[in-house]
Every structure is written in C-alpha cells, then in structure tokens.
Amino acid sequence: MSASAEDKKLFFITGVSGAGKSQALKVFEDFGWFCVDNLPIALLDQFAQLALKSPRMTRVALGMDVREGRLLSVLPPLIKDLKSQGLKVHVLFLDASDDAIVRRFSETRHRHPLGGKVADAVKAERRLLAPIKVAADRVIDTTHLALGELKEKISETLGLTRTREMTLQVVSFGYKNGMPIDADIVMDVRFLPNPHYVKGLRAKTGLDAPVQKYILAQPIARRFLNEWRRVITMLLPYYVKEGKSYLTIAVGCTGGRHRSVFCTRWLAQKLRGSGHPVQEFHRDIDA
C-alpha cells in the first residue's frame, strides 16, 4: 500500500434504484471528486490499488446498484478488507419510499433494472441491498428531497460547510463590450465617480493604488461596498440550498478598466478572507 493511503478517500454510493444515485454522483463530481458509475465489483480491488498509486485520485466516488446482482453480497467484506489496508472507505446509501420509487419510474418511463412490475422489483431489490444498507455509514431518504436539499445532506456527510464548497467567480467587465453571458449576479457600478476623467488616472486601472484611493475617497463607494458584501454573504447559503455549485458575480462599469476592476478585486479579497474559494477575472481590463 502507498504511504499516502491515509490521504485517500473512497465513497461507495448505492441504494434503491430511483432513489437518486445518479444525482448524488453528479453532486460528488461538482465537489471535485473523481466519479465512476457501475464499476464491476470484480475490478474493484484493482481500481482501489490504482487509486492509491495515483497522486491525482485522492477523492473517489463509485456508484453501484443492483445491476451487479448477487455480487453485491461480497461488497461488505471487500470494504472491510480495503479499510484494513488503510484506505478511508465510506458507504452512502440512498433510499426512498416504495410509493416515491414507483412514481419516479412511472414519470420517467424507465425500466427497473430487475425488470417486471416496478413494485415487485423494488421489493426484490430491497432484499438484495439489505446487507449494504446495514453496512452504510449514512442512509439518506430522498422521498421528499429536492436536488438542493440532497446536495446539502451530501455536503454535511463530507464534512463541508454549507457555502464554502461552492466555487465563486467574480469578473469585471465593460458595458460597452456587452455583459458576460454566464453571469448569475450582475452589479452595475457606473453610479460611482469615473476615474477615467481624472487627470493622471485614465491610463491606470482599478488594480493600481491611485485609482483605488480615489474610489475609496467617495463616501458612497465605501457605503456601497460594505452593504454589497453583506448582501452577497447573506445570499450564498441560499444558492447552495438550490443546488448551485458555481456562482458567477459580474461587476460592470462603462469601459471595464477602473471602477468594476476595483470593486471586483475588493469583493474577491473579502470573500477569500472569509474562507470562500474565489476566482477573480478582469475581462476588459486591456480592451
């Protein structure tokens, strides 16, 4: 085993068909995990060894369902063996009421993996998965969960905070070049005094200290920035609750070189200081 085994994490995501396994895998993928769906159990040990040797595969999520048939019965002892080798292994089991499962299959018109009548197939599937459910580290009932709520529960399972797993992107732009098409939140800062018309500042940008000093000298700027930061911080948990993994905040001024650049830099620094992962871009700073 690799000496880095203690740094590796492996999650098995399984459960009753129709309970949301595919959605859960997408959530793990959004959180930056390496995800594989329906890896044959016969290849599991080889895959585990590969993951241990790869420096990039530090967080792996494997989706498994009843299509593995009776081979699922070997999963609990196999997990126990992997744990004994030093690998951090966890099992997440997704479940839902029989009525909810039958309704979901009816709405999607998908065939149950075991075939036949869905109600009968669900009962047979529960019997096959019973040992896995008992061995699970956590069982999540998705009967009444929206995607955002499922994401919150998975976030809690992974030990993540409610907002910090969301990747934030703050981008400045100039309205004369059009708004970014991928923006979730757009803030227009053209109400601020424009350094473009101040002698000695036109050739500079919002990343330069003289421009920053000029903007911060305006009482409205200081008040706006503090209020804006408060509003953004208040909203982040609600975007996470709705299942948002990436949030783009666009800040615009006329040319995209002074006011929007400074405000973008200011907000990005404040959010990073609060522990949020933030990417900062200035689209039109050189336009």
Q: Is the pLDDT of residue 242 over 90?
A: no
Which pLDDT belongs to residue 129?
86
- For the cut 90, the answer to whether the pLDDT of residue 106 exceeds it is no
If we measure between CA atoms, which residue out of 36, 9, 41, 15 comes closest to residue 25?
Answer: 36
Kindly state the tokens that stand for 131.
């040992």
Chain centroid to CA 207: 30
Phi, psi of 172 (to 5 degrees): -95, 155
Distance in angstroms (rounded) separating the CA atoms of residues 252 and 231? 18
Q: Rounded to an integer, what distance in angstroms lies between the CA atom of residue 213 and that of residue 128?
A: 67
pLDDT of residue 246: 73
Tell me: pLDDT of 167 over 80: no
Q: Can you give the pLDDT at residue 1?
A: 41
Rounded Cα gap, residues 48 and 253, in angstroms: 51
Q: Please report the pLDDT score of residue 6 as a whole number.
A: 55
Encode pLDDT of 141-158 as tens digits: 888 888 888 887 888 777
What is the model's pLDDT at position 9?
84
- Please name the helix (run of DSSP H) or strand (run of DSSP E) that holds residue 25, with its range, or none: helix 21-30
Q: Is the pLDDT of residue 188 over 90?
A: yes
Which range among 28-32, 43-47, 84-88, 232-236 shows the weakest confidence by mean pLDDT?
A: 84-88
Which value, in Å, is the radius of gyration of the alpha carbons in the chain? 25
The average pLDDT across 162-188 equals: 83
The pLDDT score that the predictor gives to residue 233 is 93
Over residues 2-53, the pLDDT tens digits come to 445 556 788 989 899 889 998 999 999 988 899 998 888 778 778 877 877 8
Q: What per-residue confidence (pLDDT) applies to 46?
A: 83
CA distances from 169 to 152, 174, 220, 249, 287 (A): 21, 17, 25, 6, 20
Domains of the chain: 3-157 (3.40.50.300), 167-282 (no CATH)
**How does pLDDT run across 255-277, given as a tens digit for each residue?**
999 999 999 999 999 999 988 88
Predicted pLDDT at 243: 65
Residue 204 has pLDDT above 80, yes or no: yes
List all residues 6 or more positions away from 194 whose beta carbon is below 8 Å from its beta carbon.
253, 254, 258, 259
Measured distance CA(72)–CA(76) in Å, rounded: 8
Q: What average pLDDT score do residues 185-210 get? A: 96
